[in-house]
Amino acid sequence: MISEKFEDFKIFTGNSNIFLAKSIVGYLGMNLGEILSTRFPDGEIYVRCLESVRGKEVFVIQSTYSPSDNLMELLIMIDALKRASARSICAVIPFFGYARQDRKTKSREPISAKLVANLITVAGATRVISVDLHAGQIQGFFDIPLDNLTAVLLLRSYFKDKELKNPVIVAPDVGAVPRTTEFSKGIRNSTQAIFVKKRLGPDEVETSRLIGEVKDKTVILVDDAIHTGGTMINAAEEVLKRGAIEVYVGATHGVFALDSLEKLEKSAIKEIVVTDTMPVSQRTNLPSKVKVLSVASLIGEAIKRIVFHESVSELFEKSS
């Protein structure tokens, strides 16, 4: 039983997503470890672990979305746990920020995803768990084990139960195709379509060329993340212009930057389904069309399997 292992492993959380962390330990039937994370008067982060972790297997839950303090808090927590002689430290990063900068597309750009991977490893993490990394190749930026879980099956199961009429699963850009392909496998009689997206700037996209048919179909747009909402709103307008009946959206990470929630509320999208890798439910202005599914059991199960030295791959291996 998991309770027999309580003495061997501990779970801590930073401040980025405390509700998710509580749900994860709730799934496992345990409590969060005690850790103090506060500020010096000048704003610097101060962390102190309030219980012994000597020789323990330790997990730290923290999404690294903006502001960068979330990342900094994670690094400082890992450092504190390392110096307190934890046997191993797994960084559980439900939403891995800075992931979009995973290669140089123009000269003199950074590869921020690699930099963040280096920082996490140098701080002392011995393993990473994440959910739907922006690009699978980010796993290769780490020289420690990384389990890239997926919420696609969770999102798919939600839409499967809706039994939507004549569904077409639409990738808002070419990068989303592996996700939409996996998604469509579980939706009966579904077809697929792909947009060719051109990013004009950090908050401006052009989504006008579509490969595939959407006329008289119910569109489900599937992506890893919604940041400004521009990609999804543009794609929704385009499919409606082409005769789609209605538009649903499924994405793992609801980042919802700037005034995206207001824009999405006003948009023609009928429902937007995201997960709690970001603290979406705690947003004050959350439109009723946004539905949040929880990845707590997915992450909790992965932690349990790691502790018990069982296979984690079943949780993220795609169906054939």
For the annotated catalytic residues, the residue numbers are: 197
Query: What three-state secondary structure class fits 31?
Result: coil
Q: Are 258 and 237 in contact (CB under 8 A)?
A: no
Shortest distance in whole angstroms from residue 314 CB to ligand R5P: 26
Shortest distance in whole angstroms from residue 227 CB to ligand R5P: 3
User: Quick one: 110 or 175, whose CB is closer to ligand R5P?
Assistant: 175
For every residue of 204-264, DSSP letters joined together read EEEEEEEES--TTSEEEEEEEEESSSHHHHHHHHHHHHTT-SEEEEEEEEE---TTHHHHH
Distance CA 89, CA 85 (A): 10
Cα distances from 71 to residues 66, 67, 95, 150, in angstroms, run 8, 8, 11, 21
Shortest distance in whole angstroms from residue 285 CB to ligand R5P: 17
Shortest distance in whole angstroms from residue 309 CB to ligand R5P: 34
Torsional sign, CA 66, 69, 70, 75? positive
Q: Which residues bind ligand R5P (CB under 6 A)?
A: 172-173, 175, 205, 223-231
User: Quick one: 233 or 245, whose CB is closer to ligand R5P?
Assistant: 233
Retrieve residue 116's tokens: 């963040």
User: Quick one: 95 or 142, whose CB is closer to ligand R5P?
Assistant: 95
User: Quick one: 70 or 207, whose CB is closer to ligand R5P?
Assistant: 207
- Please state, as a whole number, how many other Cβ atoms lie within 10 Å of the Cβ of residue 268: 12
